[in-house]
Amino acid sequence: MFERSRKGERALLLQPRRASDSAASRNTEEIDEFAELARSAGATVVGSLGARIDKPNPKFFVGSGKAEELKEQRAALDADLILVNHALSPVQERNLEKYTECRVVDRTGLILDIFAQRARSHEGKLQVELAQLKHMSTRLVRGWTHLERQRGGAIGLRGPGETQLELDRRLLSGRVKQLEQRLEKVETQRNTAKRARQRNAVPTAALVGYTNAGKSTLFNKITGAGVYAADQLFATLDPTLRRMDGLACGPVLLADTVGFIRDLPHDLVAAFKSTLAETREADLLLHVVDAADPEHDRRIEEVQRVLEEIGAQDVPQIFVYNKIDKVEGARPRSENIDGGQIARVWVSAVTGAGIDLLRDALTTALQRDRVHAWLAVPDHAGRLRARLIAAGFVSAERPAERGWEIQIDAPRALIEPLFGLPDGEGEWLREQLSRPGLLAASGAAPYNSAATAL
């Protein structure tokens, strides 16, 4: 057996390419991205080796000839780590390690390592550890023969005993169960905070996008927050919420979320389900795109694929094309599609160009998807009034001559289920919300029919 290096800074990259991939630009882009991932993990890239994969070799993933070439190049460059830009099976990873006498880490393991370095919050650390343990559970049999040794031998413990491998698997399983229980408690706390936001009728918008598209820089520019931002992959991991005031639609909570990337590990997506819930349950998504990236259309497809995986594909989106300061001739602007919905906004988070246009687009989209109106509630509708208050949909109230005047402010998706209330209450509510100019004669704020017509 070989002695594994504990340094792991000098990395040789193995870059598989599909036989069907004839586009040189695509291959170059994927190679550059993987090299940036390696540097983000703290490795020094000393070399790169391409490998055409027609059919993955069950033993090494690459062919035996390419494995020999990889071994020779590893020795020539004195690399102590081989990073493979593809997911490997535990057997393939172990066989490559034995053959090259070097530690091997696949794409999934590399991304998990970066997340482990960047996690700062208690929840983030729990999520990353859970994903790592699930990934590790299939890789306990590495190159250590001691894992097969038997325990036991003392009086009362004679017999086959328990192998070290079995013990490690049992301990790992127990830790996974413990982490899942802790994350359930954290998710309960997050859901409590979410219900409080709904009661306060504060809409939420979430920034999503490919990693390094400039989400955190944009978040800081819009909210004035001091979230860490850097020109590297996965600079921000833990989600951050900030309140935005001064918008025509009222206060808004803006969430900065973890960036997405091609082939994001499934274990990581599963572990971060509570964090990604900020995206799935938002009223609006601001899909940040690097306008200077020649592959931005492919990046959009990758993000949409992850959004579908976490169940957020139906949340309304505004595409925010960032970094226009790096695009020659680009200027801040916004584009509408049919129906007046703003679909795209061009901005620069660094210079601040177009930020006002983005705020206007955010306001327009949230007003369209929210109910904001004053209602005259008669005395006999007290039960409906109580329901609206209990649900957190009433933002203001004042007594009237024959009942109450209440202001409704809530997401349309939460109001519409009330239209099915029995005893005519739901139908009465629907009818009232379909009357523009409601209470205008009494001096109350007029009902915005353009924003909340049902």
CA–CA gap between residue 447 and residue 439 (Å, rounded): 8
Instruction: Give the span between the Cα atoms of 14 and 104, in whole angstroms.
Output: 10
Q: Is residue 3 part of a domain?
A: no
82 plus 213 within the same structural domain = no
> What's the rounded Cα separation, in Å, for the pair 72 and 208?
42
Q: What angle do CA 172, 177, 179 make, to 5 degrees?
A: 95
Give the pLDDT confidence score for residue 77 in this predicted structure.
92
* Cα–Cα distance for residue pair 25/224, rounded to 1 Å: 38
CATH number at residue 397: 3.30.70
Are 106 and 20 found together in one domain? yes
Q: Is residue 166 part of a domain?
A: yes
Angle CA 158–164–170, to nearest 5: 105
Three-state secondary-structure class, residue 402: coil
> Which residues form the domain of 359?
202-368
Tens-digit pLDDT string for the chain (454 aa): 445 444 557 899 998 887 665 555 556 777 888 888 888 888 889 999 988 888 888 899 998 899 999 999 999 999 989 999 988 888 898 899 999 988 898 888 888 887 777 666 676 677 777 777 777 776 665 444 444 444 444 443 334 444 556 666 677 777 878 777 777 777 676 666 655 555 555 778 889 888 888 888 898 888 876 555 555 555 555 567 788 887 877 788 888 877 777 776 666 666 566 556 667 778 889 999 999 988 888 889 888 988 888 788 888 889 999 999 999 988 999 888 655 556 899 999 999 999 999 998 888 888 776 677 788 888 888 888 888 888 778 878 888 888 888 888 776 767 777 888 887 888 888 887 776 544 333 333 333 333 332 2
Q: Torsion-angle region of residue 392: left (phi > 0), alpha (psi -120 to 50) or beta?
A: left
Structural domain contains residue 2: no
Alpha-helical runs (H) found in 50-146: 64-77, 90-100, 107-118, 122-136
Q: What is the pLDDT of residue 157?
A: 37
For residues 215 and 351, membership in a common domain is answered with yes
Write the CATH number for 62.
3.40.50.11060
Residues 260 and 336 placed together within one structural domain of the fold: yes
Domain finish residue from 368, 398, 430: 368
Q: What is the residue type of 174?
A: G
